[in-house]
A and B are shown apart, each in its own frame.
Chain A
Amino acid sequence: MSSFIALPKGVTEETFAKAIKEYRALLGDERVRTDPASLQSYLKIMIPETVELHKPSAAMYPKTVKEIQAIVAIANKYKTPLWTVSTGKNMGYGSAAPATRGQIVLDLKTMKKIVHVDEELGYCVVEPGVTYYDLQQYFKKHKMNLWVDVPAPSAMASPVGNTADRGVGYTPYGEHFLVSCGMEVILANGDVVRTGTGGVHNSTSWQSYKWGYGPYVDGIFTQSNYGIISKLGVWLLKGPPPGGYMPFLMKFPKVEMLADIVKTFMPLRLAQIIPNACVVVNAGWEAAGYFTYDKNGKGTNRSNFFKGKGSLPPKVFQEIMDKYKVGAWNFYAALYGSPEQVALNWKYVSGAFKAKFGKDVEIITEKEAVDDPIFEYRKQLMMGGSTLQEFGLYNWRGGGGSMWFAPVAAARPSECDKQMRIATDILNKHGFDYVSEFIVGWREMHHIIDLLYDRNQPDEMHKAYQCFDELLKVFTKNGYGTYRTNIAFMEKAANTYGPEMRKIHRTLKMALDPNNILAPGKSGINLDIPLK
C-alpha cells in the first residue's frame, strides 16, 4: 500500500519518496505535506468529476523566489509535476485542485508581500499570496485614496491568481490582464524573467510601461503552464472625489428585452459615459442573492418555490421575480468623476433608457436602494470593495455543485440574445436553470453562466457534465469561444480553438518546459497527451 494518497503519472513510489525527501531538505517537513489531512483542502472541487481524478500527491509552501528555483530543479530531476495556485480560490473552475491526478500543489499563499504601492502613479507590485482584501487594508492603513479592481470573491482571491487566469472585475479597470503591468516569472529551467521593462537594470518604469522592447510575452504566462508568476504589477484607480461615484440599477421586466438593453447601453459604454465593466444580471442570479435568508431570517431557496424535477417553469420564475422584486434583467453600472461630471452623465444615461423603455424600466439609485443587500454588493464590486455575496448562488439549488460556463459574446444585441436563448434551451433540456450575468467589456461581453447542481446525486453529476459538454459543443458550432474553463473541460475547450493554436501552445511548452513539470493539463497543454 502506498504511503502517499496519489502519485504523479509515471513516477514510482520510490522515486517520489526520494523527491519528497529532497523537497523536505529544502523547505522543512512543515512546508512539504503529504498527509491526507493537509491535502484535503485541495480536494474540495465543485465540478462534476470524482475527486480521485484530481487528487494531489503533496503540497508545498515556498516563501521565496530562490526556494521556487530550487523546487523546479528537483521537479525536473524527478519529473514531479507542480500545480501552482496563488490562494486557490478558483471556485467553479476547479478551485485549487490540479487538472490531473498526482501533481504536487505548489501553494504560494505563503508569499504574501505587498512589495510596493505607488500612490503617485497608482500601481502596486504584489506576490501571489496577497489578496485583494490585503491590498484594501493596506490602502486604508496608509490613507491612500486608491481602488483595486476586484473579482467577486474579492476578500480571499489574489490579484496574481485572478490575473493569471484572465479574470475580470467591475470597475473601469475590469479587464485584469489589461491593467497588469510587469511580471516576474520563474521558468522551468530556474531562470527568473522580468517582463516589460523589468529586465533593464534598475528599471524605473516596470509598472508604468507594459510593452518593453521586442515581442511582448506577458500573455504567454496567463492561462498557461510556461512559468510561475512570483510578482505582478497591477494598475490601481484613483478614488473619485466625494460625490463622484454613482452606482445604479435598472430593472427590466421581460427576458425578451435583452437585445434592446444592449442596444441602449453600448453606445454609452463605447463613449465612456458608462466607463466600467457593467453587468446585466438575469433573474435567477439576482434572486439567488436574496435567497440566503428572507426578511424574517428564514432560509429560502429555489425549493421553496418548486418541488418538481427539472428546470424551473417560466411561471415559477415569474413568481420568484415578483416575490423578490427583481427584473428579468437587472443592469448594474456606475458613473465616476467629479460630481458635476457624474450629474451630467446621469442625464445622458437615464435619458437614454427612459426614452427607449419608458415605464418598462425601473431605475434604482442609492437613494431608492436604501440598505438593499444586493445593491450594496454590486456597489462594492463597482468600487473595488470587498464582498462575498456571490456565494449566495450556491444556495439556489444546493448540493455544492457549480461550474462556470463562460463564453464570450461580441457585444451586439442580436448575439447576446442568441447566446441567452441557446444556453437556456440546453440547460433546461438537461434539467438545469439558466443563471447568468453578462459582464460588459470593451467590445465584448463575458457571458457567465453558473451551472448549479447537486454533487451528491450521481445522476445530477452526470447530467451536469453532459450539459456542460453540450454547451461547449453548441456554442463552438455557433462561433462562440469560451474565455476560461474548469479543469474537467480544459482539453475540450483547447480543441475548440483549432489545431494550429494547439500546436503553438505545445511548441512553446516543449521549448520552455520540456520535462512537462509545470501544471500539465492547464488549458489543455500537456506533453503527456499527444495532439489529435
Chain B
Amino acid sequence: MMETGRRGFFKQIFTAGAALAATGIGAAKPRTAEASVQEQIKGVCLFVPTLGKASDFVEMMNNNAPGSWTAHPLNGSLIEHYFTTKNLYEDAQSHANTFVGVVDPATFAIVHEAIIDCCGSFHYITYEDRDRVTFSVRL
C-alpha cells in the first residue's frame, strides 16, 4: 500500500489532471481548472515503479477520478521507457481518453520525446518537486 502522504499527492494531481484530460480542455493549469468530467474516463497512467504498485495506482485513480484505469510501470532501461511509452500512447489513442503519469526527470525527458515523436502533445507538465514530474497527454 502507498503511504498516506503519497495518496494525498496523487489525489491532488490526478483528480484535476484526469478531469482536464477527459474534457479535452487546452493547455490550462490543472490546479485552477474548473473542469467537469463530461464522459466516462478511460485512463492510462504511467509511473516509475519506485512510487508504488500498479494495483495501488488503479485503486487510487478509481477513488479520485472514477473510471476505467490501467496503470503501467516503466520498467527496465531508459531506452525501453521510450519504446514502451510510444506503444502505450499509440494504443491509448484507440481506446482511452486520458493519459497521465508520474515519473522522475530522466524518465520524463524520454516520455516527452516519445509522445511528441508520435505527434502527441501535453495538457500540462508539472515539476511537483525536483525529482517528480506529473503530466497529462492529449488524446
Q: Which of B7-15, B74-82, B93-101 contacts A (4 or more CB under 8 A)?
A: B74-82
A392 & B78 in contact (Cβ 8 Å cutoff): yes
In the assembled complex, B129 has its CB within 8 A of some CB on chain A: yes
B78: contacting residue among A40, A87, A89, A388, CB under 8 A: A388
Q: B121's contact among A40, A87, A156, A297, by CB below 8 Å, is which?
A: A40
What's the minimum C-beta distance from A60 to chain B, rounded to whole angstroms?
Answer: 14
**B112 touches A (CB below 8 Å):** yes
In the complex, A373 Cα to B106 Cα: how many Å? 15
Q: How far is the CB of B58 from chain A (nearest CB, A)?
A: 19
The stretch among B29-37, B38-46, B63-71, B130-138 that forms the contact with chain A is B130-138
Kindly list 15 other residue pairs between chains A and B, CB separation below 8 angstroms, not including A292-B104, A299-B50, A299-B104.
A36-B27, A37-B27, A38-B121, A297-B49, A297-B50, A387-B77, A388-B77, A388-B78, A394-B105, A394-B108, A398-B129, A399-B127, A400-B109, A455-B127, A456-B130
Q: Identify which of A303, A394, A456 gathers the most chain B CB atoms within 10 Å of its CB.
A: A394
Q: Is the CB of A299 within 8 A of B48?
A: yes
Instruction: Please name the residue on chain B nearest to A386 by beta carbon.
Output: B79
- Alpha-carbon gap, A40 to B82, bound state (A): 19
- B-side residues, CB < 8 A to A, are 26-27, 48-50, 77-79, 81-83, 104-110, 112-113, 116-117, 121-122, 125, 127, 129-131, 133, 138
Q: How far is the CA of A40 from the CA of B138 in the complex (A)?
A: 12
On whether the beta carbons of B27 and A393 are closer than 8 Å, the reply is no
Chain B residues within 8 Å of A297, by CB: 49-50
Residues in A with CB closer than 8 Å to B112 are 41, 44
B105 to A395, Cβ gap below 8 A? Answer: yes
CB distance from A430 to the nearest CB of B (A): 17
Q: Is A397 an interface residue (CB 8 A)?
A: yes
- The answer to whether B131 touches A388, judged by C-beta atoms less than 8 angstroms apart, is no
Chain A residues in 8 Å Cβ range of B82? 155-156, 388
Cβ contact of B50, chosen from A156, A298, A399, cutoff 8 A: A298
Contacting residues of chain A (296-342) with chain B, CB-CB under 8 angstroms: 297-299, 301, 303
Q: In whole angstroms, what is the CA distance A400 to B129 when docked?
A: 10
B131:A91 contact, CB within 8 angstroms: no
- Are A399 and B105 in contact, with the CB atoms below 8 A? yes
* Size of interface on A: residues with Cβ below 8 Å to B: 36
Instruction: Verify B110–A299 contact, CB threshold 8 A.
Output: no
Given contacts A37-B26, A37-B121, contact A400 B105 (CB under 8 A): yes
Residues of A near B127 (CB, < 8 A) are 399-400, 455-456
Minimum Cβ distance to chain B for residue A458 (Å) = 13
Among A41, A298, A397, which residue has its beta carbon within 8 angstroms of that of B130? A397
Q: Inside 8 A of B130's CB, which chain A residues have their CB?
A: 303, 397-399, 454, 456
Closest to B78 in A: A388
24 contacts between A and B (CB under 8 A): A36-B26, A37-B26, A38-B121, A41-B121, A44-B112, A87-B117, A89-B113, A155-B82, A298-B50, A299-B48, A301-B131, A387-B79, A388-B77, A388-B79, A388-B81, A392-B106, A394-B106, A395-B104, A395-B105, A395-B106, A397-B130, A398-B104, A400-B127, A456-B130
Q: How far is the CB of B33 from chain A (nearest CB, A)?
A: 15
Q: Name the B residues within 8 Å of A398 (CB-CB).
A: 104-105, 129-131
Identify the 6 closest CB pairs spanning chains A and B, nearest first. A398-B130, A41-B116, A299-B50, A388-B78, A394-B106, A398-B131
Q: Tell me the chain A residues, 492-506 only, with Cβ under 8 Å from chain B.
A: none
Give the CA-CA distance A298 to B129 in the complex, in Å: 17
* Residues A372-419 near B (CB distance < 8 A): 373, 386-389, 391-395, 397-400
Residues of B within 8 A of A37 (CB): 26-27, 121, 138
Give chain A nearest CB distance to B117 CB in angstroms.
6
Determine whether A348 belongs to the interface, using a CB cutoff of 8 Å to chain B. no
Q: How far is the CA of A494 from the CA of B18 in the complex (A)?
A: 46
Determine whether the beta carbon of A40 is less than 8 Å from that of B104: no
**Cβ of B124 to closest chain A Cβ, rounded Å:** 10
| Complex CA–CA separation, A256 to B77 (angstroms) | 33
Complex CA–CA separation, A109 to B79 (angstroms): 20
CB distance from A454 to the nearest CB of B (A): 5
B77 and A373 within 8 A (CB): yes
Chain B residues with Cβ under 8 A from A36's Cβ? 26-27
User: Which residues of chain B are within 8 angstroms of A389 by Cβ–Cβ distance?
Assistant: 77-79
Instruction: Select one of A156, A299, A373 contacting B131, CB under 8 A.
Output: A299
CA A153 to CA B84, docked complex, whole Å: 16
Please give, as numbers and ranges, the residues of chain B lying within 8 Å of A456 by CB-CB distance. 127, 130
In the complex, the chain B residue whose C-beta lies closest to that of A298 is: B50
CB distance from A408 to the nearest CB of B (A): 26
Closest B residue, CB atoms, query A44: B112
Among A155, A298, A391, point to the contact of B109 (Cβ < 8 A). A391
In the docked arrangement, what's the CA distance between A348 and B108, Å? 43
A293 interface contact, C-beta 8 A: yes
Shortest Cβ distance from A455 into chain B, in angstroms? Answer: 8
A108→B78 CA distance, assembly (Å): 25
Cα of A181 to Cα of B51 in the assembled complex, Å: 48
Q: How far apart are the CA atoms of A530 and B112 in the complex, in Å?
A: 37
Shortest CB distance B53–A (Å):
11
Contact between chains at A91 and B129 (CB < 8 Å): no
Contacts of A41 in B (CB 8 A): 112, 116, 121
B45 CB to nearest A CB, Å: 17
Chain A contacts for B50, CB-based, 8 A = 293, 297-299
The answer for the CA separation of A131 and B10 in the assembled complex, in Å, is 36
Residue in chain B with minimal CB distance to A37:
B121
| Closest CB in chain B relative to A30 CB, distance in Å | 10
Q: Which residues of A contact B27 (CB under 8 A)?
A: 36-37, 40
A91 B109 Cβ-Cβ under 8 A: yes
A531 to B: closest C-beta gap in Å? 36
Q: Collect the chain B residues with CB atoms within 8 Å of residue A400's CB.
A: 105, 108-109, 127, 133
In the complex, what distance in Å separates the CA atom of A456 from the CA atom of B126? 10
Q: A293 to B122: give the CA distance in the assembly, Å.
A: 26
| A229 shortest CB reach to chain B, Å | 20
Name A388's contact: one of B110, B116, B121, B138 (CB within 8 Å). Answer: B110
A394 touches B122 (CB 8 A): no
| Chain A: minimal CB distance from B43 (Å) | 19
